[in-house]
Amino acid sequence: MPDEARPAAAAQPDRKADQAAPGQGAPAKTSGDKPMATRGHTVSGASPVSALKPGNGAQPAPARPLSKPAPRPSSGSVPRGTASSNRVRARLARLGVQRSSPYNPVLEPLLRIVRGNDPKIETATLRQIERAYQVAERWHRGQKRKSGDPYITHPLAVTTILAELGMDPATLMAGLLHDTVEDTEYGLDTLRRDFGDQVALLVDGVTKLDKVKFGEAAQAETVRKMVVAMAKDPRVLVIKLADRLHNMRTMRYLKREKQEKKARETLEIYAPLAHRLGMNTIKWELEDLAFAILYPKMYDEIVRLVAERAPKRDEYLAIVTDEVQSDLRAARIKATVTGRPKHYYSVYQKMIVRGRDFAEIYDLVGIRVLVDTVRDCYAALGTVHARWNPVPGRFKDYIAMPKFNMYQSLHTTVIGPNGKPVELQIRTFDMHRRAEYGIAAHWKYKQEAVAGASKVRTDVPRKSGKDDHVNDMAWLRQLLDWQKETEDPSEFLESLRFDLSRNEVFVFTPKGDVIALPAGATPVDFAYAVHTEVGHRTIGARVNGRLVPLESTLDNGDLVEVFTSKAEGAGPSRDWLGFVKSPRARNKIRAWFSKERRDEAIEQGKDAIVRAMRKQNLPIQRILTGDSLVTLAHEMRYPDISSLYAAIGEGHVAAQGVVQKLVQALGGEEAANEDIAESAPPSRGRGKRRSAADPGVVVKGVEDVWVKLARCCTPVPGDPIIGFVTRGSGVSVHRADCVNVDSLSQQPERILEVEWAPTQSSVFLVAIQVEALDRSRLLSDVTRVLSDQHVNILSAAVQTSRDRVATSRFTFEMGDPKHLGHVLKAVRGVEGVYDVYRVTSARRP
């Protein structure tokens, strides 16, 4: 289906009308079908694919006037019945037929190009092309494009582009018929019966490519691979590129949003695909047309700059060209020397990607030297270097070491007249055609090699053989072999290396996105390619609507759907490691089990610490809820307390030794028992910021005493509280239900009555716990919300469980405890958060 428009419904013709009268549905003029008045052209010189440039639309050249047949003699003017008179009449009749065009006048421009490509082409082949047009015109009759033109103008324009590329007759017929199977009731089986297996294969290939969905989540590289993998014959890709080129030329009739979508697809998928196939003429025009739609202001600015500088540049270019031509004549090297056109999008790319000024890019003159033989290429290089000094490091021999798309040429940069650099490309005429038309040049050479040798048959499938480099995409495989040998890591599409049939399969998600997987991949590989959590929780799969085992092998084009478990603790099976193919799936499965082992080690380490503390009768709850252990973990070079627990659980560190260091850090057992939370030393180099504000608490009957709020329970106004006299640190205020109150009550003489008396300068410490489904940027989103609530965050810690639940604890200062309800409500509004509450020593998570 062409990208510009879905055709309107049309009455379907009678199938027996294979011999419809020529001339039905002649293309209407589409002279306005270009994106902009000056867009889509090269900076200097026209694109070789010029029959349907913007401005020409799909209007064919006028047909030649038909010759008037010889007049038939009147009865009696010539003796009747003589053999000589019969021979004369037969000869005159033949002459009359030869002077007339026997084909539909609408097809004359197309057939003129076809005859130019192959002067010895047989009449029967041209008749087959005409019949393909008649069938397409009949089935598309009544359908219109968005421009209002008859729909047949589109396949005719596409086929004209294919003819200019030198494609074979089967491809031309497929170009004329490429929309009939999808947009009309003309079936593939009927097409195969009418035009043979080869044309049917090409039309079917284009139809399948039209069904590939370019979803928002699909990566351009993956879609490019999918397109190539689905095209069993590379000519399908050439037809698709010609189809997209004509649609881009006539894009102005679509809505702006649709234009931009198609232009972006063109830049990301089709232009790189044309580059891969070596079809630079198509690539350049697609890029310029898409550039004009996506960045109209930048496009117009570059067009203006080019127009301003063109005269001086052309003058300098003429001087360089004359001097090179003169030197080559003196060396008796037959050559054609021309300037190399610069394309608007390539200028833009160099300005944006390489950060170069327009003057630096455009003023760099480039010329191309075309010679007959490879020997002449090197001889011409020596001649140029004898006149001008080459720039070191700028010579590249792509003849000896071709690029990945079979491009061959010698590149060099010299210091030309007036000390300005000049870029030169030197190659043979054959290399030049390959550089311009890429894979399409192959059919041009093939036709020239067999022209006149045998009749063109489109009803017989091509046989695979060593000499047939087209069948089974051998040409593209050769491109891949060459690409692997290239030594230039800066090639624009180096990252697009792929093996068409052996290394990858391409499958669809239920939304139509394309997923690339290794050959032999299973639904489990697919699940991990979608998302790690989907892979972990996979319990079943459906492929093309049928339930299949998880170890089933996927094929190209499969529609895959997986089922996941919502059960807590759901995870992968170790058996999966025996059949998954993708490195991603294998690594994620191993990481899951590694994390599971680490979680077990953390629990074992924590239990060991608790047992060691109990042996010394230390206040376990105080130590585990305070900062002392966290500080010690940092001093022991562990990033967090979980890593310290894991080290203990795995036996790398002794729990008893950790407890001894902790007690020493707290100033001995006595100090530890008094108030560990308040006496914990700051971590080295990262002192905690302590508020000097009024704690908002007074001790009954006592004045001028230092009062501080205990950090083990973080009381706030409204909480029942008690005071405890510490040794040298004033009165520590705890919640009445603090877990440490029982141990403090064993020394009743140190218990004091206290009460709240908050002032405007009072600042209180609050700890909250946030429970949420783990996702990226969760911590960032929560801290942003807390900051918006104007609280001063002092610490934050996050742990993720095996079931992907993230538990975050935040400690912050706030002046008005009544504001806490608003803070908790704001945090609950963060995506993924399902619970948030204040944490005290009376309420452990």
Q: Is the pLDDT of residue 437 over 80?
A: no
Q: How many CA atoms lie within 13 A of 604 on its CB side?
A: 15
Residue predicted with more confidence, 343 or 8: 343
Q: Is the pLDDT of residue 483 over 60?
A: no
Q: So what's the pLDDT on residue 286?
A: 94
For residue 306, what are the CA distances in angstroms to 314, 358, 360? 11, 9, 12
Q: So what's the pLDDT on residue 620?
A: 62
CA distance 834 to 3: 45
Q: 606 and 704, same structural domain?
A: no
Q: What percent of the chain has pLDDT over 70?
A: 68
3-state secondary structure of 293: helix
In a domain, 745, yes or no: yes
- Amino acid, single-letter form, for residue 272: P
For residue 767, what are the CA distances in angstroms to 732, 796, 830, 840? 18, 10, 18, 7
Residue predicted with more confidence, 249 or 804: 249
Contact between 625 and 677 (Cβ < 8 Å): yes
CA distance 334 to 389: 23
In a domain, 217, yes or no: no
Last residue of a domain, one of 396, 429, 462: 429
Residue 350: which CATH number?
Answer: 3.30.460.10
Q: 791 and 723, same structural domain?
A: yes
Q: 831 and 702, same structural domain?
A: yes
Buried b (16+ CB within 10 A) or exposed e, 153-162: bbbbbbbbbb
pLDDT in tens, 626-650: 567 777 788 888 888 788 888 887 7
Closest alpha carbon to 212 in 199, 200, 230:
230
What is the average pLDDT across 501-529?
80
Q: Is the pLDDT of residue 477 over 50?
A: no
User: Residues 179, 183, 558, 781: which is the catalytic one?
Assistant: 183
Q: So what's the pLDDT on residue 129?
A: 93
For residue 658, what are the CA distances in angstroms to 10, 508, 517, 644? 84, 54, 48, 9
Q: So what's the pLDDT on residue 365?
A: 76
What angle is formed at CA 355 by the lines to CA 351 and CA 356, rounded to 5 degrees?
65
Q: So what's the pLDDT on residue 447?
A: 52
Q: So what's the pLDDT on residue 489?
A: 27
Give pTM, 2 decimals.
0.46
Alpha-carbon Rg for the chain in angstroms: 40
Q: 521 and 420, same structural domain?
A: no
In a domain, 510, yes or no: yes
Q: Is the pLDDT of residue 302 over 70?
A: yes
Q: In what order do the strands lie in the sheet with 365-371?
A: 335-339, 365-371, 421-428, 410-415, 396-397
DSSP 693-716: S--SEEETT--S--EEE-TTT---
Task: Give the DSSP H or E segment for 198.
Answer: helix 197-210
What is the average pLDDT across 30-58?
36
Q: So what's the pLDDT on residue 121?
A: 87
pLDDT in tens, 763-797: 777 889 998 877 778 888 888 888 888 788 888 88
Q: How many CA atoms lie within 13 A of 433 on its CB side?
A: 13
CA distance 331 to 334: 9
Q: So what's the pLDDT on residue 329?
A: 93
> Exposed, middle or buried: residue 684 (CB in 10 Å: 0-12, 13-18, 19+)?
exposed
Q: So what's the pLDDT on residue 35?
A: 34
Q: So what's the pLDDT on residue 383?
A: 92
Q: So what's the pLDDT on residue 184?
A: 87
Highest mean pLDDT range out of 79-93, 302-316, 339-353? 302-316
CA distance 427 to 844: 78
Lowest mean pLDDT among 63-77, 155-169, 242-256, 792-806: 63-77
Q: So what's the pLDDT on residue 193?
A: 93
pLDDT in tens, 124-151: 999 999 999 999 999 999 999 988 899 9
pLDDT in tens, 170-214: 999 999 999 998 888 898 899 999 999 989 988 887 876 665 555
Residue 228 binned pLDDT confidence (cut-offs 50, 70, 90) = low
Q: 826 and 714, same structural domain?
A: yes
Q: What is the mean pLDDT of the chain?
A: 73
Closest alpha carbon to 378 in 335, 339, 436:
335
Q: 726 and 817, same structural domain?
A: yes
Residue 760: which CATH number?
Answer: 3.30.70.260
- The count of structural domains within the chain is 5
Residue predicted with more confidence, 805 or 526: 526
Q: Could you confirm whether 185 is annotated as catalytic?
A: no
Q: 804 and 751, same structural domain?
A: yes
pLDDT in tens, 712-730: 777 888 788 888 887 766 7
Residue 203: which CATH number?
Answer: 1.10.3210.10
Contact between 320 and 416 (Cβ < 8 Å): yes
pLDDT in tens, 8-21: 444 444 433 343 33
Residue predicted with more confidence, 829 or 227: 829
Q: 703 and 821, same structural domain?
A: yes
Q: So what's the pLDDT on residue 676?
A: 41
Q: So what's the pLDDT on residue 589?
A: 87
Buried b (16+ CB within 10 A) or exposed e, 183-211: bbebeeeebbebbbebbbbbbbbbbbbbe
Q: 822 and 716, same structural domain?
A: yes
In a domain, 497, yes or no: no
Residue predicted with more confidence, 842 or 654: 654
According to DSSP, the β-strands at 514-518 and 421-428 are unpaired
In a domain, 830, yes or no: yes
Q: So what's the pLDDT on residue 692?
A: 41
Residue predicted with more confidence, 596 or 826: 826
pLDDT in tens, 354-400: 566 666 655 567 899 999 999 999 999 999 999 998 887 788 898 88
Q: Could you confirm whether 183 is annotated as catalytic?
A: yes
Contact between 621 and 841 (Cβ < 8 Å): yes
Q: Is the pLDDT of residue 60 over 50?
A: no
Residue predicted with more confidence, 52 or 771: 771
Closest alpha carbon to 113 in 165, 55, 67, 53:
165
Cβ-based neighbour number of residue 11 at 10 Å: 7
In a domain, 227, yes or no: no
CA distance 253 to 440: 30
Residue predicted with more confidence, 617 or 31: 617
Closest alpha carbon to 206 in 169, 173, 243:
243
Last residue of a domain, one of 581, 601, 634: 581
Last residue of a domain, one of 170, 189, 210: 210
CA distance 360 to 347: 10
Q: Is the pLDDT of residue 843 over 70?
A: no
Q: 715 and 790, same structural domain?
A: yes
Q: Is the pLDDT of residue 474 over 50?
A: no
Q: So what's the pLDDT on residue 195?
A: 92
Closest alpha carbon to 706 in 721, 736, 687, 726:
726
Q: Is the pLDDT of residue 50 over 70?
A: no
What angle is formed at CA 210 by the lines to CA 563 and CA 144, rounded to 5 degrees?
135
Q: 778 and 703, same structural domain?
A: yes
Q: So what's the pLDDT on residue 495?
A: 29
Residue 71 binned pLDDT confidence (cut-offs 50, 70, 90) = very low
pLDDT in tens, 553-608: 998 778 899 998 887 777 888 889 889 988 888 888 888 877 777 777 787 888 78
Residue 514: which CATH number?
Answer: 3.10.20.30
Closest alpha carbon to 683 in 550, 794, 562, 814:
794
Residue 651 binned pLDDT confidence (cut-offs 50, 70, 90) = confident
In a domain, 721, yes or no: yes
What is the average pLDDT across 473-479?
44
What angle is formed at CA 491 by the lines to CA 487 and CA 495, rounded to 5 degrees?
100
Structure tokens at 630: 């966290």
User: Residues 137, 164, 182, 627: which is the catalytic one?
Assistant: 182
Q: So what's the pLDDT on residue 482?
A: 36
Residue predicted with more confidence, 664 or 565: 565
Q: 824 and 736, same structural domain?
A: yes
What is the average pLDDT across 233-240?
84
The domain of 609 spans 592-679
Q: What percent of the chain has pLDDT over 90?
A: 18
Structure tokens at 85: 């008179």
In a domain, 771, yes or no: yes
Q: Is the pLDDT of residue 845 over 90?
A: no
Structure tokens at 57: 């639309």
